[in-house]
Amino acid sequence: MEAIGGISAILKDDTHFLIEYETGEAARLYILNSHVFKYYMSPSGNFLDYPVPNNPSDHAKINIKKITDYETKSFEYSVLETTDEYYAVYTNKIMIRFDKKLGTMTVRDMRNNKEVLKESAPLSHDSNATKQTLYQHKDEYYFGGGMQNGRFTHKGEKIEICNSNNWVDGGVTSPNPFYWSTYGYGILRNTWQPGVYDFGSKDPSVIETTHQGEDFDAFFFINSNIIDILNDYYELTGHPIFMPEYAFYESHLNAFNRDYWVKVDRDTPGAILYEDGLYYKCFQPKEMNGKDGILESLNGEKSNYQFSARAMIGRYQRHDMPLGWFVPNDGYGCGYGQTDSLEGDIENLKQFADYARGKGVECALWTESNLEPANPNQPKKGERDLKKEVAVAGVVALKCDVAWIGAGYSFGLNAVEKAANIFAKAAKHTTRIMIITVDGWAGTQRHAGVWSGDQSGGQWEYIRFHIPTYIGSGLSGIPVVGSDMDGIYGGHGKYVNVRDYQWKTFTPLQLNMDGWGKVQKTPFSFDEEAKRINRAYLKLKSMMMPYNYTIAHESIHGLPMIRAMFLEFPDEVIGYTKDSQYQYMWGPHVLVAPVYKEKAADVDWVRDGVYLPDSDQVWIDFLTGEKYQGGKIWNYLKTPLWRMPVFIKDGAIIPMANPNNNPKEIRRDIRIYNIYPNSESNFSVYEDDGISSEYLDGQHASTKITVIGPQSNESGNLLIHIHKTHGEYHNMVKERSTLLRIMATKTVEHLKVAINDESVQILRVKTEDEFNLADDAYYFQEDFLLNPYLNSFGGDELEQKFLLIKVHKVDVTTSDLHVKIKGFENRDQVKGSNTTVNHALEVPAGFTARDDEVTPTSVTLRWETTKGVYYELERDGVVFTNILNPQFTFEGFAFDSEHKFRVRSANLGGVSKWSYYILISTKEDPQKYAIKNVKVVCNIPCEPSQEVCKLTDGDASSIWHTRWAKPDQANPQKGKVISLNFDLDGIFEIDRLEYTPREDAGNGTILQIQYRHSTDGKVWSSMSTKINWEHDETVKNIPMQGIKMRFIELNILDTIGGFGSGKHILFYKKD
């Protein structure tokens, strides 16, 4: 690449600053407001209003706010200052400085006098790509880049801004050319082209961001607060969609208008027991081959009711499982009717949608084809007419899949935008647009939420990698995220299914993509234990609707619902690192730590590595009420199958609702607040009609709750103020009773309640029945159950002490409610709070690490057993607590990195002194001897963004795959062989070849190969014998005994599906 030269001139024009470089390039600097600007460098001197789309017919734009839509005063008042060394442009908030000699840019935030970004090298470019290189600081962290599977924090890492359609860990399904730094800036590259962002994987002192295309066109957002950076991004590209209430509930998706059900024996793989007591298996039409089967339908009108979509809704009802929306046509070629016309099919769809709506369930559709008839005047059977599907049938949501979205980029956004526009016109503002999609890009969030694609369930890996994926998506401006419950494919036993239902209780979307796996994936697919636990967590999500809906509204103009730990605890470094990648905050008050590992045999379920931040913060187990001290990483937390670690910040206010199965079952005439008093706190609850777009016209309301009381574990007066509800909306229920549920450890003798300063007589009652019958009463309940649906599992462990206060119905828009409680107390043991040195406790002896237990990425520590204690380890200044055994393994370290450890014992009586420190270095990079810069060519076409070069790039996040649409390419019986030809760029003595399959060992996984080699490409060895590999995800090796070679021809003879795929093929030279 060529670097731009020094700057010969900067001139202020009518709308922008013009920059001229000594090497012939030109650039424009647009001041959009006091802290947002656009920097556009063009080698040709041509400046486009919008980047060139991938297809000329793609009209969607990344930015919906034009440059000319921004206010002009910031540019008009901006000042250009010239010195011998620099040009500097000033607004009232930032300074943009260009080095005359080097052509580099520096940006300073004048509000805090901080240099937020500085180019370490000039912009560089060629005909194919442009690169920006910035300095990075040791305490600087980077986030964004879209849905980067398995990742949320990027310091020291390299990510690809490309639509890889690799839907497992390391893949990228919805890239976004937007990233931001904790130093106070965000950058959106204004392009439709793929890119690579290297945040220090090669050189930790710089970051390099590269995109295809010769122009550098980028928007810069300068702000010290992530909320402000996100809002700057949203102002430019569009605010995220606001989920309607029904979308928080489970959605059931399947094809109900295509397949046949054939009677089979119960032992037949895929057999399902139906209501008639018989077993059936599903077959697509092409699989029937003369079998006698029953065709399914939406409405069960053809003596096929048990195979209908209506019957599935009935199953959710019979099992008392929440269900909010239903997609009855999710399958290629499915459609939604069996009449002889499109009009008749739409009527069939309407009948189903009306039925579903009568059960409290909304109807949505999947898109696989054009959304409008080719000839609107003569629509044909099998076509789609989204306008009528919405306006006539009452469809309220869409799921856009790869068949409709295509390759993503401009095509994908254009397709989603087209669907959204048709939807909006047909709905006529009465229905809030709800779309979910894959293959997003910058701007997708204004039309759709994003789901992560098609993965296999029944694997713990499926849960593990999705946790940081969701966190990172929110940091990329994609707050509405989801994935299939227990995956779309595969499936195994109940454990992954249950754990997936648990953690997705605290996520936006729950998509039950049923009918495609080895087993059904519904919440009632497995045994009674699994059903009851799944029901309990689905019910819990329904009870949390007021809280969930409030944080969802916040996400359209602020922080995402799923929040990286540092968003709520910005002063704690752990929250920015991988130490916190498997947990998150659900809104401001709820900490969620999913169970993502299988338990070891013959031991209880436990969860390690739960970071409870802030040493001054007490955390409360949501289900049991147990208290834990913050400031440490907790281990060995008991997690029997019914229990997942969910913690509430002491001081939280959680608005709740009655248990329900859909929004229509929510009681709107009562407001419920769970309160965990600790000093002063407040929370504002947002509400609207839950389904329309009228909130955009001001049709909404909010209620502020303020709580002032004693600090945690102290006693004193407690004051609660529920302010008048401000605002209103259509069909708003204003007359509501109030139920306060306050965590407490003892009852109170008396309390005062006033409505608009008028006292209310509150009756003290002694039983729950008395309390339920009274209008104004209070009751101290010693067996309060946060989630009564778990009662048969947790027993006494679930019983908490709560003070319940109920106040009669009032008009909440005109009524201030005050509660004063004297002598309030919420004292309880706080685990881990006693850090006083107890000299009676012994310092653990024999603290060491064996050499054979130190790997390139992990360290196992051991010490001698001390009776009657647990242990605490300090790793690089971070304390890991509640370690029950005299050994512990730390994972996730960088290669050849040094770490410092010490250990102490602890119990309720305090802690021992710390042991001596030990310094341990992890071992060197296992790929140290892998040959770099290997070139490879494939004899058949590869999938875009999954080219064969991915095999040798050493990047664990990339994958090679031949064209998806061309299976059966490795089939020697048909004379088909996939041939890979490698050039090592030099002659080496090769120790071994190493092949790493894709993580799910799916399509393309290599099963049989042959190879030959050469030093000059002319004289070749004979072809090797056939080498067979097992069908699994383990790394495969071919020993090569130090043979000298430069060229290798690898013939792939057999694979899964006849495709070719893999993460790596690496060649290792001898030591």
Domain of 867: which CATH number?
A: 2.60.40.10
Tokens in use for 396? 């309220």
Give the β-pairing of 94-99 and 79-82.
unpaired
Same structural domain, 191 and 277:
no
Range of the domain at 274: 259-295
Same structural domain, 168 and 61:
yes
Same structural domain, 72 and 209:
yes
Same structural domain, 267 and 144:
no
Same structural domain, 71 and 154:
yes
Last residue of some domain: 793, 826, 859? 826
Provide CB contacts within 8 A for 952, sequence distance 6+.
Answer: 934, 935, 936, 982, 1064, 1065, 1066
Question: Over the stretch 817-860, which tens digit does the pLDDT of each residue have?
Answer: 999 999 999 999 999 999 999 999 999 999 999 999 999 999 99
Give the pLDDT of residue 518. 82
Give the pLDDT of residue 164. 83
Tell me if 909 sits within 8 A of 834, measured CB to CB.
Answer: yes
Same structural domain, 199 and 233:
yes
- Whether the predicted pLDDT of 709 surpasses 80: yes
Q: How far is CA 116 from CA 103, 196, 559, in A?
A: 18, 22, 22
Q: Which of 766, 760, 750 is nearest to 718 (CA)?
A: 750
Residue 775 falls inside a structural domain: yes
Domain of 711: which CATH number?
A: 2.60.40.1180
Which stretch of DSSP H or E encloses residue 781? strand 777-784
At 602, is the pLDDT very low, low, confident or very high (cuts 50, 70, 90)? confident
Provide CB contacts within 8 A for 851, sequence distance 6+.
Answer: none
Last residue of some domain: 190, 205, 237? 237
Which stretch of DSSP H or E encloses residue 403? helix 402-405
Q: How far apart are CA 114 and CA 361, in angstroms?
A: 52
- Scan for tokens 């059931």, then name that residue: 252
Same structural domain, 900 and 993:
no
Last residue of some domain: 766, 791, 826? 826
Tokens in use for 573? 């470094």
Question: Over the stretch 517-544, which tens digit does the pLDDT of each residue have?
Answer: 888 889 999 999 999 999 999 999 999 9
Same structural domain, 702 and 774:
yes
Same structural domain, 939 and 910:
no
Sign of CA dihedral 208, 213, 214, 220: negative
Same structural domain, 112 and 6:
yes
Residue 505 falls inside a structural domain: no
Q: What is the mean predicted confidence (pLDDT) over 125-134? A: 96
Residue 151 falls inside a structural domain: yes
Same structural domain, 957 and 1057:
yes
Question: Over the stretch 673-686, which tens digit does the pLDDT of each residue have?
Answer: 999 999 999 999 99
Give the pLDDT of residue 303. 87
Question: Over the stretch 553-583, which tens digit does the pLDDT of each residue have?
Answer: 999 998 999 999 999 999 999 999 999 999 9
Residue 10 falls inside a structural domain: yes
Type of residue found at 500: D
Give the β-pairing of 456-457 and 489-490.
parallel
Question: Over the stretch 606-628, which tens digit does the pLDDT of each residue have?
Answer: 999 999 999 999 999 999 999 99
- Whether the predicted pLDDT of 429 surpasses 70: no
At 772, is the pLDDT very low, low, confident or very high (cuts 50, 70, 90)? very high
Type of residue found at 93: K
Residue 185 falls inside a structural domain: yes
Instruction: Work out the burial of residue 1005: count CB atoms within 10 Å of its CB; fewer than 13 is exposed, 13-18 middle, 19 or more buried.
Output: buried
Tell me if 454 sits within 8 A of 167, measured CB to CB.
Answer: yes
Give the β-pairing of 606-607 and 610-612.
unpaired
Residue 47 falls inside a structural domain: yes
Its pTM stands at 0.92
Question: What total number of domains does the chain contain?
Answer: 5
Question: Degrees (nearest 5) of the Cα angle 384, 387, 392?
Answer: 100
Residue 737 falls inside a structural domain: yes
Q: How far apart are CA 999 and CA 168, in angstroms?
A: 7
Residue 894 falls inside a structural domain: yes
Give the pLDDT of residue 490. 85
Written in H, E and C, the secondary structure of 956-1015 is CCCCEEECCCCCCCCEHHHCECEEEEEEEEEEEEEEEEEEECCCCCCCCCEEEEEEEEEC
- Whether the predicted pLDDT of 133 surpasses 90: yes
Q: How far apart are CA 804 and CA 782, in angstroms?
A: 10
At 154, is the pLDDT very low, low, confident or very high (cuts 50, 70, 90)? very high
Give the percent of the chain with pLDDT over 70: 100
Q: Which of 961, 934, 935 is nearest to 947 (CA)?
A: 961
Dihedral class, residue 169 (left if φ above 0, else alpha if ψ from -120 to 50, else beta): beta
Same structural domain, 232 and 286:
no
